[in-house]
Amino acid sequence: MSLPDVRITGPRPVLDPRIHIARGDLVEIGLAGTVAAGRYTAPLPMVATRPRTPLAAEPDADAPAVSELLHGEPFDAYDMQGDWAFGRTLHDGYTGWVPLAALADPPEEPAPAHIITARSAPVFARPDIKAPVLHHLPLGSRIHAVPSARFLALAGGGHVHKAHVAPHAARSPLAIARLFAEAPYVWGGRTPDGVDCSGLVQSALAALGIPCPRDSDQQRESLGRRIDPADAQAGDIAFFPGHVGLLTAPGSLLHANAHWMRTIEEPLADVLARLGGSEYLLAVNRLPA
């Protein structure tokens, strides 16, 4: 069935390409009636199968990563070009290109869903801690598994220990973020194997089921409420031009940064001195208790 030819007059809406699919050659079907297009496309639900897959800016292995797709995360594909799929991640609505080899159809009847809450979870060949380790899944990975006494049997094979998917209701985003200590800085990364500044904040919140957009400017506008920096406390989120981190105390920042090329905790004053002064602290946001 073909969609009707839609003609729109008046101003063309300005859409953020990070979260909207409105290219010159296609527009997502949800924007029909808002954006004129020669072709509207409905999403094809898929799911990531690799521990980590870069979400690329272009359908090219040499293209820069804009984010990362973790094992088990859903992905809506809107276009296919060669060995690549263009679409949107469902956990944060971010758009980009993913190799088709890293995607699969979602299971028709998935087992119960769980999220990896350990820094890195070994996947054992058998439900035995002495069994060979097939591979590791990073923090934030989603698995469909059937629980047993001590392990969860993955739908695709292998077993994860319950301790690595146990809920951490008593933990805070800051406690989760500390699992990234010394993680190398990787642009677009979202795991302790490599993370960037906004990926650190997003992953710390996502592990506790708190929705969080991908980039620091989006986070600044949507997370919690703005507070007076003079009232800052541990757990607040500090924003700078193109950068973000979590306060571990009023004067200390935990952040993934390209200066040290890793995730470290350092005096906030040192960060501001490198940037050029206190005016570069754009905002401090506090999450709901």
Residue 238 lies in a domain: yes
pLDDT digits (tens, 9 = 90+) for 232-259: 999 999 999 999 999 999 999 999 999 9
**Residue 199 pLDDT:** 98
Please give the average per-residue pLDDT across 187-195, as a whole number.
Answer: 97
Residue 6 lies in a domain: no
Domain hosting residue 201, numbered range? 173-286
pLDDT digits (tens, 9 = 90+) for 40-92: 999 999 999 999 999 999 999 999 999 999 999 999 999 999 999 999 999 99
Percent of the chain with pLDDT over 90: 81
Task: State the CATH number of the domain containing residue 78.
Answer: 2.30.30.40
Residue 34 lies in a domain: no
| pTM of the model as a whole | 0.91
- Of 101, 64, 108, 100, the C-alpha closest to 84 is 100
Residues 114 and 142: beta-carbon distance below 8 Å? yes
CA atoms within 13 A on the CB side of 284: 22
DSSP bridge pairs for 44:
77
Of residues 1 and 161, more confidence is placed in 161
95 and 122: one domain? no
Residue 100 lies in a domain: yes
Residue 33 lies in a domain: no
**Count of the separate structural domains present in the chain:** 3
Residue 118 lies in a domain: yes
Max mean pLDDT among 34-38, 147-151, 164-168, 180-184 falls in 180-184
Residue 24 lies in a domain: no
